[in-house]
Structure 1
Amino acid sequence: MSDDTICFSDHKIVPDVLQSCPYKMLKVTYSGGQRVDMGRELTPTQVKQQPTVEWEADPNTLYTLILTDPDAPSRKDPKYREWHHWLVVNIPGNNIEEGQVLTAYVGAGPPEGTGLHRYVFLVFKQNQQLNCNEPRIPKTSGDKRSNFSTAKFITKYKLGNPIAGNFFQAQWDDYVPQLYKQLSGKK
């Protein structure tokens, strides 16, 4: 564990999402050069487009990527913990576009007045190709995103500890109503 990943404990991602910290830092960059940096605050407007995610990957190995918010609807009342924002399995090396998308990416959408939410990126090395029976969730749907459990998913598919991770924090801004409209399937 590096000094960078100790931040996962400081921000209570361990134990709220994981039992142990990732080994390495995940490089996550949004359009405009906005970088995710271990808890730095970004706005929903800054993170609305799918980011570039990079890690030290073996091109002959498959990986799983998860982005989850353990603070839904708020950190004080996380009754929907976790609300997952992105889930891709069977990623060959670093090629996310070639992976199997189970849950399409949507950016941060913390409800107004709920304070900072943690948005946690995790990558796991797979031992084999996964055959997942999880629902496929498009970017136009909020259905089946709440009450996701990273811990249960890890156990179910025998993923072990994350090899890399990173996270940012965000609170409501005026982009959030547009995201809610997108998730309701309305134009």
Structure 2
Amino acid sequence: MWTNRTRLLCLWLWLCLGKAHCLPETGKIRDTDVSKFFRHLDVIPDVIAVGPQDFLNVTYPGNINADRGVQLQALQVRDEPKVNWIAGKDYYYTLILTDPDVPSKVPPQPNEYLHWLVVNIPGNQMGLGDVRVGYTGATPAKGSGLHRYVFLLYKQPDYLKFNLEPVPKHSDQGRHNFSTKAFVKQYELGFPLAGNFFTCEWSTDVPALHKANHETEGRPLSF
């Protein structure tokens, strides 16, 4: 669980002062500002081993940007955001939104919670992608601290067949114990092309969001 909010503030000031070049290089992959940011906030190695090459443009309704670890309220990220990137028209892409800070009931099993998964996106036309896991916003449990919500975009080697049953946005099935690393390895997606993330913690809005938007068969979604 990642709860060091002071560290987040210090990093923001540190980057603003232009000190990012002090971080170590990853080696063969170009060590960009976004990968440095992901590493310092432990998205690397918690979620991925090598960082994205560019920042992903993620905008929620109300022109709210989910950018560089900014802390947002659960109510602000309730609805599906717009995600934009520079894409080749002949390529397909996969978009993942995952929370790696869900307390694990059976450690050391993967403890990511999958909030959104869209595959076989032609170019950057999100509306034409195959939604395998419907979007659900951030509703972190009370007392679980500050959560990181990580967006990752991968360029697929081709149009792929994904062996995943579709999960509706109001369903909790198939979201727990997700592993980005295992998923990427299984489908040979390589390194992320772009990424970004925001942070969120429990607030008094969360119970109402559970009841209004995330209830299925009488059971609220867990995160």
1:99 aligns to 2:99 (yes or no) = no
* 2:216 alignment counterpart: 185
Q: Secondary structure at the match of 2:45?
A: helix
Separation in 2, partners of 1:125, 1:36: 21
Change beyond 3 A, Cα 1:78–1:138:
farther
Q: Is the 8 A contact 2:155 2:193 kept in 1?
A: yes
In structure 2, what is the equivalent of residue 148 of structure 1? Answer: 178
Contiguous gaps of at least 5 residues in structure 1 = none
Aligned partner of 2:38 in structure 1 is 8
Q: Percent identity?
A: 46
Q: Which structure has the larger Rg over C-alpha atoms?
A: 2
> Compared with structure 1, are the counterparts of its residues 79 and 115 closer, same or farther at alpha carbon in structure 2 (3 Å cutoff)?
farther
Q: Following superposition of structure 1 onto structure 2, how do residues 105-144 of structure 1 map, counting pairs within 5 Å?
A: 105-144=135-174
- Aligned partner of 1:164 among 180, 194, 202: 194
TM-score by length of 2: 0.78
Q: Shift in Å at residue 79 of structure 1?
A: 6.3
Equivalent in the alignment of 1:37: 67
Q: Which residue in 2 is equivalent to 1:46?
A: 76
What CA RMSD, in Å, does the superposition of the two structures yield over aligned residues?
A: 1.8
- 2:206 matched residue in structure 1: 176
**Structure 2 residue 94 is the aligned partner of structure 1 residue 69:** no
Give, in whole Å, the separation in 2 of the partners of 1:88 and 1:140: 16
Q: What CA distance in whole angstroms lies between the structure 1 residues aligned with 2:78 and 2:108?
A: 22
CA distance, structure 1, for counterparts of residue 115 and residue 189 of structure 2: 19
> Is residue 84–residue 145 contact of structure 1 (8 Å, CA) maintained in 2?
yes
Give the deviation of 1:175 after TM superposition. 2.8
Any conservation in 1 of the 2:34–2:53 contact (CA below 8 Å)? no
Q: Hey, which of these two has a bigger chunk of helix by percent?
A: 2
CA contact (8 A) 1:73 1:110 kept: no
Conserved? CA contact 2:119–2:132, under 8 Å: yes
- In structure 2, runs of 5+ residues without a counterpart are 1-30, 219-223
TM-fit CA distance, 1:180? 2.9
Letter in 1 for 2:202: W
How many residues are aligned here? 185
Q: Tell me, what secondary structure is at the counterpart of 2:202?
A: coil
Secondary structure at 2:216's aligned position in 1?
coil
Q: TM-score, normalised by structure 1?
A: 0.93
